[in-house]
Amino acid sequence: MPATLLLIAHGSRDPRHAATVEELAVQVRRLRPELEVATGYLDHCAPRIAQVAGRLADRPAVAVPLLLNRAFHAKHDIPAALRAAGSTLPVADVLGPSPLLLDALDRRLADAGLDVHSAAVRARTGVVLAAAGSSDPAADAATRALAADWHRTRGWAAVEVAYASAGGPQVPDALAALRAQGATHTAVARYLLAPGLLPDRIATAATEADLLAPVLGAAPELAHLLLHRYATAAAATSTTTRLAA
């Protein structure tokens, strides 16, 4: 049997968060029905990481963080929670960066009514990539690099980054910057995984945009990306085990 995929999410008091995580887990199970998929949360939701890690102590498993950037939660919180549970599970890389995330962002803009397949529409549309923001400079740099890739590869009039919580440009500032660059149509893409406080804050700030996309949610691209991260970590673990034998 393949190693269990332990999907680790942050957790939220907003019930839509856990519902989205579970919906994504269902999609992963549909893609790989032979694979056991478990979920664990850092905070607010059950089951917590310690509970699930304890249940998986007697079988091979790989932890896959449901995180977009390698910031504090990935670098510190998840490893600390696993250590506190006495777990030595290998931990896969975070989701970003990946072209699949750009595909998921395109999907959500299309869901909101934008004709993303039209080169003419893209050429006149400026997009705000609205992220949570981080105190980790490397994480914010990764978000900006993703925005640059999205602009370069998809032909948008412009792409600007805005943040919901940390310092840096806010959504209204980014919308103004898009218009200054000649965009005649503006869209806000919420670069967040599940509904909650920060996505709602972005929505409130996006009233001057022509279009507001949903969060990434349980986009099919995320399910495929989670499985890719899982497979990469599982293969690396298998190689390490063979070399140590």
According to the model, what pLDDT value does residue 153 have? 97
Cα–Cα nearest to 21, from 37, 33, 35, 32? 37
According to the model, what pLDDT value does residue 166 have? 63
Q: How far is CA 233 from the centre of its chain?
A: 18
According to the model, what pLDDT value does residue 237 have? 85
Asked if residue 129 lies in contact with residue 206, where contact means CB atoms within 8 angstroms, the answer is: no
| pLDDT of 243 above 80 | no
What is the pairing mode between strands 185-191 and 125-131?
parallel
Share of the chain above pLDDT 90, in %: 90
Range 13-26 average pLDDT: 97
Residue 229 CA to residue 64 CA, distance in Å, equals 7
Same fold, 4-96+219-244 and 99-212: yes
Give the CA radius of gyration of the chain. Answer: 19
Regarding predicted confidence, which is higher, 166 or 58? 58
| In the chain, domain spans | 4-96+219-244, 99-212
**Residue 48 neighbours by CB distance under 10 Å:** 16
| pLDDT of 241 above 80 | no
The model's confidence at residue 56, banded by pLDDT at 50, 70 and 90, is: very high
Asked if residue 197 lies in contact with residue 172, where contact means CB atoms within 8 angstroms, the answer is: no
| pLDDT of 244 above 80 | no
| pLDDT of 14 above 70 | yes
According to the model, what pLDDT value does residue 245 have? 47
Residue type, 48: R
Residue 101 CA to residue 171 CA, distance in Å, equals 20
Q: pLDDT (tens digit, 9 = 90+) per residue, 197-221?
A: 999 999 999 999 999 999 999 999 9
* DSSP 8-state secondary structure symbol assigned to residue 74: I
Q: Give the CATH fold of the 4-96+219-244 domain.
A: Rossmann fold (3.40.50)
Q: pLDDT (tens digit, 9 = 90+) per residue, 95-151?
A: 999 999 999 999 999 999 999 999 999 999 999 999 999 888 999 999 999 999 999
Q: pLDDT (tens digit, 9 = 90+) per residue, 31-49?
A: 999 999 999 999 999 999 9
Q: Give the CATH fold of the 99-212 domain.
A: Rossmann fold (3.40.50)
Q: pLDDT (tens digit, 9 = 90+) per residue, 135-181?
A: 889 999 999 999 999 999 999 999 999 999 867 899 999 999 999 99
Residue 234 CA to residue 128 CA, distance in Å, equals 35
At 194 the three-state DSSP class reads coil
